């Protein structure tokens, strides 16, 4: 094998491990290279993808109520901040905070976003933190102890299984200075509506899903034929989640990192979970993580929720 084709050994090791499982898996965090982050921003504009516009409307309407939970002269620390589009609703209203700390796994994407925020919010310390929220999130020293609220919108928490979500909630709870956790979470609803949101007519979600294979080719020297896999969104009732899969259209063998990975026709790679909640389930999960749910705000149709948790 030509080792020089492997630019990302962490991705390669993670992918080899996941693709070696009986139900092949790829961690959804690998969607978010620069291209994947762009495709996700396109998803947020789709007519079928209700979460972003619904959460945006909730934030606009209730920003005043949320402001009370964000400490005076403190910081807003965001997990998985992406393009920080929704955060601007809060930043435009919060004139009492000192710093905004966006964190994201895509360093390149985050850098560009932070540059725009520095320009648009000259009175705010905008300090980007490159971090995976499933790992240690080390904040720069002068912000580590600052009173802060943590913002985790978009139902990104839904990518985690229950144990992972509780672990994350506990870990954030332990960070110094944390006074509140503002959490966006998608809610259980009609299955047809959920499926459409993850299998849009324009095929943007399909491109987003397939992008992870393009990434394995580009960064790990794999030889995935992207036309040989089909995007699929499934509702898993038992786990109350939408699952995304990439289904092999035929029997095939893919080579990656010197290993042959065999696919039967119809066999899938499970690429994402997106859990959908009820208020009771969210409150229970928060409690297991050491938090108390004190606000639960939804739109009129109860499609999406923004909760405030306090220690």
* Residues in contact with ligand AVJ, shown as a per-residue x/- string from 198 to 237 under the rule CB under 6 A: x------x--------------------------------
3-class SS of residue 20: coil
Matching residue, tokens 């920080």 = 84
Shortest gap between Cβ of 122 and ligand AVJ (angstroms)? 29
Which residues ranging from 149 to 168 are in contact with ligand AVJ (CB under 6 A)?
154-156, 158-159
- DSSP, residue by residue, 69-99: TS-TT-EEEESS-TT-TTHHHHHHH--S-SE
Using the rule CB under 6 A, which residue among 199, 219, 272, 295 binds ligand AVJ?
272
By CB under 6 A, the residues from 19 to 48 that bind ligand AVJ are 43
Residue 251, both tokens: 């029997």
Using Cβ positions, the residue closest to ligand AVJ within the complex turns out to be 274
Among 87, 274, 305, 307, binds ligand AVJ (CB under 6 A): 274
- At its nearest, how many Å lie between ligand AVJ and the CB of residue 104? 11
Apex CA 50: angle with CA 47 and CA 56, to 5°? 115
Residue closer to ligand AVJ (CB basis): 39 or 146? 39
Are the C-beta atoms of residues 211 and 176 closer than 8 Å to each other? no
Q: Rule CB under 6 A: say whether 271 interacts with ligand AVJ.
A: no
If you write DSSP's letter for every residue of 123-162 in order, what string do you get? TSEE--EE--TTS--PPPHHHHSS-EEEEE-TTGGGGS-H
Phi, psi of 302 (to 5 degrees): 50, 50
Site residue total, ligand AVJ (CB under 6 A): 11
Q: Which residues 81-140 are close enough to bind ligand AVJ by CB under 6 A?
A: none
> Which stretches of the chain bind ligand AVJ, using CB under 6 A?
43, 51, 154-156, 158-159, 198, 205, 272, 274
């Amino acid at each position: 094998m030509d080792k020089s084709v492997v630019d990302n050994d962490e991705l390669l090791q993670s992918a080899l491990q996941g693709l070696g499982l009986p139900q092949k898996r790829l961690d959804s965090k690998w969607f978010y290279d620069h291209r994947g982050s762009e495709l996700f921003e396109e998803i947020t504009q789709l007519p079928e993808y209700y979460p972003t516009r619904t959460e945006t409307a909730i934030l606009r309407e209730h920003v005043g109520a949320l402001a009370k939970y964000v400490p005076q002269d403190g910081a807003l620390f965001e997990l998985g901040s992406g393009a920080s589009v929704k955060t601007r609703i809060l930043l435009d209203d919060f004139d009492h905070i000192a710093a905004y700390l966006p964190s994201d796994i895509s360093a390149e994407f985050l850098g560009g976003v932070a540059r725009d925020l520095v320009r648009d919010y000259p009175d705010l310390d905008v300090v980007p933190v490159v971090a995976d929220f499933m790992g240690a999130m080390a904040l720069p020293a002068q912000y580590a102890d600052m009173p802060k609220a943590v913002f985790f919108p978009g139902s990104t928490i839904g990518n985690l299984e229950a144990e992972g979500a509780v672990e994350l909630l506990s870990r954030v709870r332990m960070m110094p200075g944390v006074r509140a956790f503002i959490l966006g979470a998608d809610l259980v609803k009609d299955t047809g509506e959920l499926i459409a949101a993850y299998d849009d007519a324009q095929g943007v979600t399909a491109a987003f899903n397939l992008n992870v294979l393009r990434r394995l080719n580009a960064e790990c020297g794999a030889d995935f034929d992207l036309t040989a896999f089909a995007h699929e969104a499934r509702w898993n009732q038992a786990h109350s989640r939408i699952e995304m899969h990439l289904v092999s259209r035929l029997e095939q063998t893919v080579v990656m990192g010197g290993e042959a990975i065999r696919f039967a026709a119809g066999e899938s790679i499970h690429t994402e979970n997106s859990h959908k909640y009820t208020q009771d389930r969210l409150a229970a999960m928060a409690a297991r993580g050491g938090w108390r749910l004190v606000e639960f705000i939804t739109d009129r149709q109860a499609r999406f929720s923004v909760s405030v948790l306090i220690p």
